[in-house]
Amino acid sequence: MSAILSVTVGAALIATATGVAGAVIYRAARSIESFRHDDHEAFTSKNHSASNGGGK
């Protein structure tokens, strides 16, 4: 690869990594804000027995 192309690819990757990190942080922060304990269903044995049909 030529030097210019290599630098461009590197810069694009750094920008993408930063973007992914920022986007996940933004999305998780929104999800924490809107979370309601009384609307939450714990994934416990009830779900487990339903999902265990095809398991080992």
Distance between CA atoms of residues 46 and 52, nearest Å: 10
- Smallest separation (angstroms) from another protein to the CB of 29: 9
Alpha helices in 1-56 (DSSP H): 3-34, 45-51
Residues numbered 23 to 52 that lie near another protein (CB under 8 A) are 23-25, 27-28, 30-32, 35-45, 47-48, 50-52
The CA-CA-CA angle for residues 14, 20, 34, to 5°, reads 155
State the residues that interact with another protein by CB under 8 A: 1, 3-4, 6-7, 9-10, 13-14, 16-17, 20-21, 23-25, 27-28, 30-32, 35-45, 47-48, 50-52, 54-56
